[in-house]
Each structure stands twice: as structure tokens, then as C-alpha cells.
Amino acid sequence: MVYNLEVSKKINIEELKKNYKITESLRKLDEDLIGLDSVKKRITEITAILFMDKVRQDFGLSKYYPGLHMSFTGSPGTGKSTVASRMSELLQNLGYLSRGHLVVASRDDLVAQFVGQTAPKTKDVLEKSMGGVLLIDEAYYLYKPNNEKDYGGEAIEMLLQVMENKRTDLVLIFAGYSEPMKTFYRSNPGLSSRVAHHIDFPDYTREELLTIAKKLFEERQYKMSFYAEEVFVKYLDLRRQLPLFANARSIKNIVNRACFRLASRVMCEVNIFTYKSLIDIKPNDLILSTLFLKGLKTFPMTKIGSSTLQSNESDIFEVIDNRYLSKSQNDSKAKIYSLFIWNEFN
């Protein structure tokens, strides 16, 4: 087969990437999200096929429009909305979407409680989403098989029509927990067949959550002291075992509360504000959490050997007996610190 093209034509790939802002968008995605390497890899692969489709068109090859509707599965706070936003930006830069905005909707935005009201609600959301990405969070709530008077099925039928007929200017992303999403797709084979990309978002590791916390503190111009970081790690171990832990979303809440506690503590403890007092998150700013009502013991300790240490050496800390605490406190040269010892949590 002979194609009608200039076989000698050459295109500078790096220049084309720059024109389509590919590198910039992927860099933003990498900066916005800690970890999630498997997710970033899938987004990069999708971007690559779309980019190559543009290059092929420049060489006179036939246009191929790949399916772009997606499924994001995983726990809350794992970056699904952030990835959806970056995906809409990429698709606009590549010319697949005219506006490139993100609309986030749930069942309440699409489904009404009375007959005749679901279609207008769903239509309104779809019209607002045209030219961009529509992310439907907890999409499985659209389908309620045990309720004959539920109108979620009507909304799903409208979504199916738009996914097929308007696929050149609207991308739908269905998001939610993994297992309920599987049931949701089994309930409607037509829906499943129109979703081209299934991407699973793993939970963050403890190290990644700690990195996220440090980044959030840094963005707010705070920082954790050495012992505060130790307390924070223990907090993570406890909090991750409890229900409703929402990964990065929960970390953001923890960081916000720590900043509030710092403000309250400083207002009560000091008469003069210093730069250090305004930025240092201390252990007590985290220990006041209800997670630490049990199982925590505090031992006093004093720093020793400071005058004999070289500037590049670490300070030495000595745990002191409680019986001698009052004597140490009366010593003007002694400075009391806190050592936190963790018991087993039942």
C-alpha cells in the first residue's frame, strides 16, 4: 500500500512536545502527586499514543480517535481528582478537548427523587461538562438494582448515549472503590465496553504519606521538629488502622489541625513572637490528638555535653530519673526536653 505523504519529511519531536505542552503537563502531574508510579506510567502511556496520533496526522496518515473514557478505582485521597484535572489539560493541549476543564459530579447531581426530574439534571451537568472531563465520583451509587423506583438507570442511559455520540468533545471518568466499581460495570456491559482505560490508584505507603505531610507543612511555611516527626510517624501507624482513613486527604486534615494547635500553643506560651516559634511544629501539636489518649508515656531528659561537642556533631541526650527532676529544673544550666516512649496499643 502506498501512502500519499512526503517520505522525506521530518518533525522535531522535542519541538512538537513543547508546542503541545506535553512535557510541562507531565511534569506538573509528577510534582502534584507523591508516589503513584503505576498511575503516572499509565497516564504517560495514554499521552504517548495520543501524541503519536497527532504526529501521524502531520505525516498524512489516517486519523485514529482512541477511546478516552476512563475508570479510576481506589481509596479516597489517592489523587484521582488531581489526575483527572491533569488529564483534561493534556487532552486540551493535544486538541482532543475544546475547553479542557474538569467537572466533578456525584449521584445527587445527576439523579432526582421524582419522575421526570432526572433527565433535566443529568442534561444540565453534561452541558456544563462539554469540551472537558466529567468525573463522576462514587459512580456505583448511580445503580440501585433493589429499588424499583430509583431513577439512576435513566441517568446511566443518558451517559451511555453521550459517551458514544459526543466522544470527540467529552471524556467521562467513573471513580470509586475497586470492588463496588466491578459490580457497577457488571450491571451494565454497555457501560463497561465504552470505558477504554481502567486505572487503579494504590494506597500511599507510610513513607509517601510522611513526604506528603512535609510538603504540605512546607507549602504553609511550617516544619516539624525531629521529635514531632517521630510522633507523626506513630500517628500515621495508628490512623491508617482506623476506618475512613482517606490517604492524602486525611494527611491534609492532620496538617491543618497541627497548625491550629501551634497557633493556640504559642498564644498561651510566649509573650514575644519569634520566627522559630511561628514555624516549628512540636510534638505536643500532634499528641493532643485523641489517638494519643492511651499508650503514651513521657520521660524528661536533659541535653549534656553541648559545650564539649564540635559544631558538626549531634547533641547527646540523657534520660533523667523523675526523682531528680526538681533538682535538674533548679539547675540554671539544665534544659529539660521530652522523650516519648510508646506502649502497645490495644
**CATH code of the domain covering residue 261:** 1.10.8.60
In a domain, 26, yes or no: yes
Q: What nine digits make up the cell of 330? A: 533548679
d(CA 59, CA 39): 31
Residue 271, judged by CB atoms within 10 A of its CB (0-12, 13-18, 19+), counts as: exposed
In a domain, 1, yes or no: no
- DSSP H helices in the chain: 13-20, 22-32, 37-58, 80-93, 107-110, 118-129, 152-165, 178-186, 189-194, 206-219, 226-239, 248-269, 275-279, 284-287, 325-330
Residue 253 and residue 191 share a domain: no
Per-residue pLDDT in tens (0 to 9) along the chain, 346 residues: 444 545 666 777 788 888 888 888 889 889 888 999 999 999 999 999 988 888 888 777 877 777 899 999 999 999 999 999 999 999 999 888 999 999 999 999 999 888 888 999 999 999 999 999 999 999 999 988 777 677 888 999 999 999 988 888 899 999 999 999 999 998 888 888 899 999 999 999 999 999 999 999 999 999 999 889 988 998 898 888 888 899 999 999 999 999 999 999 888 877 888 899 899 999 889 887 777 765 455 555 555 544 444 444 445 445 455 544 444 444 555 555 555 555 443 3
Which residue, 201, 230, 257, sits at the end of a domain? 201
The neighbour count for residue 159, using CB atoms within 10 Å, is 24
DSSP 8-class letter at 98:
S
* Residue 58 CA: distances (Å) to CA of 62, 75, 91, 95, 189: 10, 41, 18, 13, 36
Q: In the chain, how many domains are there?
A: 2
Which residue, 159, 185, 201, sits at the end of a domain? 201
DSSP 8-class letter at 35:
S
Residue 171 and residue 69 share a domain: yes
Domain range enclosing 168: 13-201
Residue 229 and residue 311 share a domain: yes
Residue 212 and residue 194 share a domain: no
In a domain, 276, yes or no: yes
In a domain, 4, yes or no: no
Place of cell 499509565: 42
